[in-house]
Structure 1
Amino acid sequence: MPTYVATKKLQQRSAHWRDYLELTKPRVVALLLLTAVVGMALAQPQWVALQTLVPALTGIGLMSAAAAAINHLVDRHIDAKMARTLRRPLPQGNLSPIRVASFATALGLIGFITLYTWVNALTAWLTFASMVGYAVVYTMFLKRATPQNIVIGGLAGAAPPLLGWTAVTNEIHGHAILLVMIIFTWTPPHFWALAVHREKDYARAKVPMLPVTHGTEFTKTCIFLYTILLSVVCFLPYLVGMTGVIYLVGVTLLNAVFLAYAWKLKYAPSKKTAFNMFAFSIWHLMLLFVLLLIDHYL
C-alpha cells in the first residue's frame, strides 16, 4: 500500500469542491445538527424562532465541520494506511495540509463569530470547547494514547443537544445533559462495532483501538455491556417526565434491535455482523432523536 508521501506525488491535481466537502464529514455533521435541533425544540414548548435556529445551526455546523477538517489533517498519515480512509483528499494528495489548515481555521472562526454575535456567548464557547475536545484532545492525543480514546473523546461529539438547548435558553439544564448522556453512552458500541469490523486496518495503522489492544472478543463483551447501559440511559427522559408514551414505545423497539445486534455480535457473529451493527447504530440515534421531536410536539 502506498505511503502518504508516495501517494501525494502520484496524485497531484487541482482540488475539487468535493474534496473540501469531504473534509467536513457532511453526514456526521448532519446527524450532529439533527441532535442540536432536537435540543433547541425540547428547550421550549413552541417551535424555534428562525432568528435563533438559522444562526445556531450555521455556527454549530461550521465549527463541527472545522473539527472534522482538523481530524483529516492530523490523521492524514494514519488514513493513508487504512483501506477505509485511503481515498480521502489528503492521503490522495488532492489538497495540501496548509490548504486544509486554512480551510478549517476559516470555518471555525466564522462559526464562532456567528454564534457569539447572533446566538449567545455561552453557546459559542461551549461549541468551541467541543471542537477543541474532538480536534485536539481526541484526535491528537487520546486516539493515539489509549484504547479508551472513544469513550473519553466521545463527550465532544455528544455536545450538540446541549448546544441547541443553550442556543435557545442561554443556560445549561439537566434535561439537556440527559440528551448528552444518550449520545455519550451510544458512542462506544457504535464506534467499537466499526473497530471490530476494521480491526486489521487499525492494527496496520498502529492505532490503539480496543480490538487491537485487547482483542475482538473482549471488545464484543464491552459492546454488549455498553448496549445494555445505553438501553437504561435511553429510558431516563421518560422516567423524569421529559417525554411521553410515543418516545417510550419507539425507544423500546430501537433498543431491542440494538441489543439483538450486540447479542449476535458476541455469541453468533457472521462476517458482516459488526458492520451491520455499526450501520444500524446510526439509524438508532437518528430515529431516537426524531422520536424525541415527535413526542415533544404530539
Structure 2
Amino acid sequence: MATTKTLIADLYEMTKPKVVFLMLITAWVGMALAPLGAIPWQAVIMGTLGIAFVAGAGAAFNHILDRQIDQRMARTQRRPIATGRVSSRVGLSFAILLTVLGMALLLVYTNALTAWLTLASMVGYALVYTAYLKRSTPQNIVLGGLAGAMPPLLGWTAVTGEVTGLPLLLVLIIFAWTPPHFWALAIHRRDDYAKANVPMMPVTHGIAFTRIQIWLYSWLLLAVSLLPVALGASGGVYAFAALGLGARFLQWSYRLLYNKRVDAAWSTFKFSITYLLYLFLALLVDHFVWPLITSWMANG
C-alpha cells in the first residue's frame, strides 16, 4: 500500500499541479468572459478536466525528456523520473494515458477545435520547447512561450467553439509575461542551468544582459496588458489593476536591474506569479462584479 501511495504521489508530482492550476485559472477566465447565455456546465467541467489532463501530460513528458538535465540541477534533482522512483516507461505510459483521456473528454464534451488546440499546445511545450528549443537557443522561452500562453483561448473555445479577438489578447498578455517571469528564475538558478549545460539567457549572455531584457519586457508587458482597455474590451477596474500591477512589476524589475536587493531575482519571479493571478482576477471583477455594484448603487 505504501508503495502504491508513493507511486500515486510521484505521478501527481509529475503533472506539475501548481503550474497546471495557474493555467486552469486563466482558462476559466477565458470561459467566463465568453459571450454566453446559460452557462454550459458540461463544457465547462469537461473542458476543465480535459485541459488539465493534457496539460498534466505535457508536464509528465517534460519530466521524461529532461531527466538528465534534472539530475544535474539542485531544484529538480529530486523529481520522480530523475531519481528513478518512477521509470521512464511508467512515466511515458502515464503521460500517454493522460493525453488520451484529456483528448477524449475534449472531443466528446467540448469540440474538435479545443481538442486539437490543446494537443498542439502540449506538443509545443513537451516537444518543441523541451526537446529542442530549451537545448538550442537562449531565446527558448520566448519562442516556446506561445504553448504556455494558450489556456485563455482554450477556455474560450471550449464554451464557444470559435476563436475571436479577446482571448487572443489574453494569450498575448501571457506570451509577453513569460520571458520576464522565467528569466528572473533563470537568474536565480543560473549556476544550476550552467551546470546542466542549458543555454538559458543568464548563462549565454550574462546576468547583466538578462536583467536589461527583463526590464524591457516589463515595459512591453505593461503596454500589452492595457490593450483590452484600449480596444474597449475592458473597463476602468481592469485598467486600474493593470496599471497598478504593471507598476509593481516594473518596480521589481528595476530593483533587479540595479541589484537593489540580494533576493531581487527570486522576489521578481514570485511576484510575477501573483501579477498574472491578480491581473486575470481583475478581468473577472471588471466584467461581472463591478457592473453589479454600479447597478446596485444606481438603483439605490
1:76 pairs with one of 67, 72, 78: 67
2:53 counterpart SS class: helix
Provide the TM-score with structure 1 as the length reference: 0.94
Letter paired with 1:51 = Q
Within 5 Å, which residues of 2 pair with 1:27-66? 27-44=18-35, 48-66=39-57
Contact 1:86 1:92 in 2 (8 A): yes
Q: Distance in 2 between matches of 1:41 and 1:90?
A: 37
1:145 equivalent in alignment to 2:136: yes
Q: Distance in 1 between matches of 2:141 and 2:124?
A: 12
Letter paired with 2:150 = A
Contact 1:190 1:277 in 2 (8 A): yes
Letter paired with 1:160 = P
Report Cα offsets for 1:253-289 as digits up to 9, x if no partner.
Answer: 1111100000110013322110000000000001111
Q: Which residue of 2 aligns with 1:157?
A: 148
1:203 equivalent in alignment to 2:203: no
Provide the TM-score with structure 2 as the length reference: 0.93
Q: Distance in 1 between matches of 2:192 and 2:38?
A: 45
Contact 1:40 1:48 in 2 (8 A): no
Where structure 1 has 5 or more consecutive residues not aligned to the other structure, the ranges are: 1-11
- Structure 1 residue 79, shift from structure 2 partner: 0.4
1:103 equivalent in alignment to 2:87: no
Worse-matched range after superposition: 286-295 or 39-48:
39-48
Q: Distance in 1 between matches of 2:229 and 2:178?
A: 21
Q: How well do the aligned residues superpose, as a CA RMSD in angstroms?
A: 1.4
Worse-matched range after superposition: 164-173 or 59-68:
164-173
Q: Distance in 2 between matches of 1:45 and 1:54?
A: 15
Letter paired with 2:258 = Y
Letter paired with 1:32 = M
- Structure 1 residue 46, shift from structure 2 partner: 5.2
Q: Distance in 2 between matches of 1:105 and 1:162?
A: 23
Contact 1:265 1:274 in 2 (8 A): yes
Report Cα offsets for 1:230-257 as digits up to 9, x if no partner.
Answer: 0000000111111111111111111111
Letter paired with 2:71 = A
1:23 equivalent in alignment to 2:14: yes
Q: Which residue of 1 aligns with 2:160?
A: 169
1:118 equivalent in alignment to 2:125: no
Q: Distance in 2 between matches of 1:30 and 1:253?
A: 24
1:262 pairs with one of 240, 253, 260: 253
- Structure 1 residue 49, shift from structure 2 partner: 2.3
Q: Which residue of 2 aligns with 1:93?
A: 84
Contact 1:67 1:135 in 2 (8 A): yes
Q: Distance in 1 between matches of 2:280 and 2:37?
A: 17
Q: Distance in 2 between matches of 1:130 and 1:184?
A: 13
Q: Distance in 2 between matches of 1:65 and 1:16?
A: 16
Contact 1:138 1:149 in 2 (8 A): yes
Judged with a 3 Å threshold, the aligned counterparts in structure 2 of structure 1 residues 244 and 207 are, in CA distance, closer, same or farther, namely: same
Query: What is the percent sequence identity of the aligned residues?
Result: 52
1:281 equivalent in alignment to 2:272: yes
- Structure 1 residue 13, shift from structure 2 partner: 10
Letter paired with 1:58 = L
Where structure 2 has 5 or more consecutive residues not aligned to the other structure, the ranges are: 290-300
1:80 counterpart SS class: helix
Contact 1:13 1:94 in 2 (8 A): no
Contact 1:197 1:275 in 2 (8 A): yes
1:130 equivalent in alignment to 2:121: yes
1:16 counterpart SS class: helix
**How many correspondences in the alignment?**
287
1:240 equivalent in alignment to 2:231: yes
- Structure 1 residue 58, shift from structure 2 partner: 0.5
